[in-house]
Amino acid sequence: MFSKKLVRILCVILLALINIVLLSISAKHPYRYTVVDRVVMAGMVPFQESVTRTMRFCRRVWHHYFYLVGVREECEQLKRVLGKADMERSRYLESEVACKRLGELLEVKYKVPHRLLPAQVAGLDPSGWSKTIIINKGTKDGVTKGMAVIAPGGIVGHVIKGFDWSAQVLLAIDRSSAIDALVQRSRFRGIVEGETDEACRFKYVVRKADVKIGDTIVSSGLDGIFPKGLSVGTVSEISRPASGLFQEVKVRPFVDFTRLEEVLVVLE
């Protein structure tokens, strides 16, 4: 059995042959408009219209195909250009941010009357037992155990281990850290110890001490590690128990320890 598609093709071929035969007959009588002419015209006009529409459709599809191919290539090229521009923009922004941070470090060097060594944060303590960082300066650069480490915001911590080209720094927010400090306004002393990532405790502050929320806490310089007058943080919470000798004071550090990238080691 023949398929419907094959039957349609055969019908179209047969119709075309009939039209060719009729045209041949009509050509023998070019100046007569006979019944044959009518039949020829009736058969040829729809066929020619169909062929013309098919050719126009194919031409449009062909032109659109090439147009779409060209548009696609242009889009790919534009994507590459935009990708390159985004990379350049990212580099420029990173350079701008780095320049701003370095400018802040230079301001600290002018304000602190000590010899300072710039260093970059090279790593964090992976164990999670203590809050420490690794800096890219070590004993070859003059860094030794016990040296203070600061940032534009204030105290970062102190060096606990020194290696040839790196050093480990204990952060001020670690529970084993202790900074001898005082209230900048009233000059009452206490010890700042680490508590959480966002807070420290200002311990051993006597009940009669004049401490208010918002007071600035600075290093006293009496612990032999941190120079006097370095910013530690601001008082965020005060509690005075009914009994006891001391107040309970919480301090919010000035330094954002989650965003440390560059620090300064106090070499003296």
Q: What is the mean pLDDT of residues 240-253?
A: 90
pLDDT at residue 31 is higher than 70: no
Whether 105 maps to a domain, the answer reads no
Residue that is last in its domain, among 63, 85, 101 = 63
More confident residue, 11 or 88: 88
Statement to judge: residues 240 and 150 lie in one domain:
yes
Statement to judge: residues 144 and 267 lie in one domain:
yes
What's this model's pTM, rounded to 2 decimal places? 0.64
**Amino acid type, 240:** R
Statement to judge: residues 164 and 229 lie in one domain:
yes
Q: What is the mean pLDDT of residues 128-142?
A: 90
User: What does each C-alpha distance from 245 to 86, 104, 182 come to in angstroms?
Assistant: 60, 41, 17
pLDDT tens for residues 67-99? 676 677 778 888 888 877 777 777 767 666 666
Whether 161 maps to a domain, the answer reads yes
Whether 71 maps to a domain, the answer reads no
Say what the pLDDT of residue 181 is. 97
Say what the pLDDT of residue 212 is. 95
Q: Give the pair of three-digit tokens for residue 155.
A: 């105290």
Distance CA 37, CA 22 (A): 8
Whether 80 maps to a domain, the answer reads no
Ranges 82-96, 105-119, 180-194, 222-236: which has the least confidence: 82-96
Q: What is the mean pLDDT of residues 204-211?
A: 93
Say what the pLDDT of residue 197 is. 76
Q: Give the pair of three-digit tokens for residue 260.
A: 């440390």
Whether 75 maps to a domain, the answer reads no
Q: What is the mean pLDDT of residues 171-179?
A: 94
**Cα–Cα–Cα angle for 211, 258, 168, nearest 5°?**
95
Statement to judge: residues 124 and 17 lie in one domain:
no
Whether 77 maps to a domain, the answer reads no
Statement to judge: residues 32 and 141 lie in one domain:
no
Whether 255 maps to a domain, the answer reads yes
User: What does each C-alpha distance from 206 to 169, 212, 244 come to in angstroms?
Assistant: 30, 13, 9
A 10 A CB-CB count for 233 gives 27
Say what the pLDDT of residue 7 is. 57
Statement to judge: residues 122 and 253 lie in one domain:
yes
Q: What is the mean pLDDT of residues 136-161?
A: 94
pLDDT at residue 2 is higher than 90: no
Say what the pLDDT of residue 67 is. 65
Residue 2 CB contacts under 8 Å (≥ 6 apart), including other chains:
10
Q: Which domain holds residue 48?
A: 4-63
Statement to judge: residues 155 and 44 lie in one domain:
no
Helices and strands of the chain, counted as H and E runs: 2, 12
Statement to judge: residues 129 and 57 lie in one domain:
no
Q: What is the mean pLDDT of residues 40-69?
A: 63
The DSSP call for residue 227 is: P
Label residues 158-167 b or e (16+ Cβ within 10 Å = b).
Answer: bbbebeeebb
A 10 A CB-CB count for 262 gives 16
Q: Residue 242 — very low, low, confident or very high, per pLDDT cuts 50/70/90?
A: confident
More confident residue, 198 or 209: 209
Statement to judge: residues 145 and 216 lie in one domain:
yes
Ranges 45-49, 76-80, 160-164, 205-209: which has the least confidence: 45-49
More confident residue, 156 or 55: 156
CB 199, CB 179: distance < 8 Å: no
Statement to judge: residues 47 and 134 lie in one domain:
no
Radius of gyration of the chain from its Cα atoms, rounded to whole angstroms: 43
Q: What is the mean pLDDT of residues 167-194?
A: 95
Distance CA 94, CA 99 (A): 9
Which CATH number does the domain housing residue 222 bear?
Answer: 2.40.10.340
Q: Please give the tally of structural domains in the chain.
A: 2
Label residues 49-79 b or e (16+ Cβ within 10 Å = b).
Answer: eeeeeeeeeeeeeeeeeeeeeeeeeeeeeee
